[in-house]
Amino acid sequence: MSPRHSVLADAHDRWIGHLDMDAFFAAVEQLDHPEYRGRPVIIGGLGLRGVVSTASYEARSYGVRSALPMAVARRLCPDGIYASPRFLRYKEISDHVRSILRRFSPTIETISLDEAFFDLSAHGPSSEDVHQIARTIKRDVQAETKLTCSVGLAPNRFLAKLGSELDKPDGFRMIDPDQIHEILDPLPVGEIWGVGEVTAKRLISLGILRIKDLRLAPLELLIRELGSTGRRLQQLAMGIDDTPLSGEVDSKSISRETTYAFDVTDLAEMEEEVSRLAGHVASSLQREKLICRVVRIKVRYPNFKTISRQVQLSVGTDSAQIIETQALELLRKRVPLDEGGIRLLGVGLGGISESIARQLALFPDWL
């Protein structure tokens, strides 16, 4: 059976959609501040070491992009409007968008505030019917939030996400199984979900520049160089992706971190910050009625070398005091500190599970 046939078979049992809000944070600010509309809007950390989170399309024409240092953005676009993100506001709209998806899809997988997968298989197998539903979703999002989004529709997650990227903003793209090679082949390998800078460089050094090269590369070579991800990447290059949607899942870790505007050398100052961060993660934990079994801290040095140290607790806890004590202990005893100071401190929690209180709340008949 050729890959093409296996994909075709796949197309008949699954239709996956991917919805991506266009330049989301910036678009929300333009919605809430009419005077921002038509102007370059850049959302991100405003401190000395901030980076761009989202740039409006007007700002992108100046070369401003996500993850660009703010200092660079200001140079490229001195007349832009710069603002900090307002996550609570974005969350409201994100929740609304998800409620729209739920009207049409039994299974949703949230990727971030501005992205989600949804499953329209139940509306198939006819591609016309599925197409119609996806169009309706896109229209409802625009009508109810006054924001545009891009939607991709395909037999699997990977292609659906690619579809939503292909004609952004305000895009809609359905990828038919017989177009897969035509669309994928010419793209650079970095377009594949899971191929970042490091893997892209390795592939390029092997002479694999485009998705077509990856599709046709000897599997032994890919496995020798990349291990099991080599196999997975070649499958994606062929347009094959059987990964199911995860549905709504509980988070496995909670963390808070801060990058200082200036490197810190004073231990007392670090301890104060660790206490503050520990308090934050502990209240997040308590709010969700969760407990943790691992406390972790993270330190980044001025040269960007980053280390973490963690400790396992003998019993799960949600106590701010225990978390703080453990985090401080890790900082004092396990982190090498010299005169150079540090640029970032973080506190994280792992081994998360439901507290007894939450289990009882969810299953009251246990009582």
Per annotation, catalytic residue among 29, 58, 115, 324: 115
- Which one of 8-16, 66-74, 117-125, 217-225 is the stretch in contact with DNA (CB under 7 A)? 66-74
One of 72, 166, 187, 320 touching DNA (CB under 7 A): 72
One of 185, 257, 271, 329 touching DNA (CB under 7 A): 257
Angle, vertex CA 117, rays to CA 286 and CA 183, nearest 5: 145
Joined tokens for residue 135: 């169009």
CB of 358 to DNA, least distance (A): 17
From CA 98, how far away is CA 228, in angstroms rounded?
34
CB of 88 to DNA, least distance (A): 13
Each residue 86-125 as x (binds DNA by CB under 7 A) or -, in order, gives -------------------------xxxxx----------
Q: Please report whether residue 77 would count as binding DNA according to CB under 7 A.
A: no
Site for DNA in 210-249 (CB under 7 A): 227-229
From CA 326, how far away is CA 256, in angstroms rounded?
15
H-state helical runs in 179-307: 180-184, 197-205, 211-216, 219-226, 228-237, 267-287
- Which one of 137-145, 147-155, 189-197, 357-365 is the stretch in contact with DNA (CB under 7 A)? 189-197
One of 8, 31, 51, 337 touching DNA (CB under 7 A): 51
> H or E segment at 159?
helix 157-166
Complex with DNA: residue 152 or 177, whichever CB lies closer = 152
CB of 332 to DNA, least distance (A): 14
Residues in CB range of 101: below 8 A, 6 or more apart? 19, 108, 116, 118, 137
DSSP 58-87: HHHTTT--TT-BHHHHHHH-TTSEEE---H
Q: Please report whether residue 197 would count as binding DNA according to CB under 7 A.
A: yes
Contact 102, 83 (CB under 8 A): no
The question of whether 269 is a catalytic residue gets the answer no
Query: Which residues are paired to 108 by β-bridges?
Result: 118
Q: Please report whether residue 196 would count as binding DNA according to CB under 7 A.
A: yes
Joined tokens for residue 367: 């009582």
Kindly tell me the sign of the dihedral angle through the C-alpha atoms of 352, 355, 361, 366: positive
Complex with DNA: residue 140 or 263, whichever CB lies closer = 263
- Residue numbers at the binding site for DNA (CB under 7 A): 45, 48-51, 53, 66-67, 69, 71-72, 75, 111-115, 161, 192-200, 227-229, 251-259, 284, 294, 304-312, 334, 343-344, 346, 348
Hey, which residues are catalytic here? 115
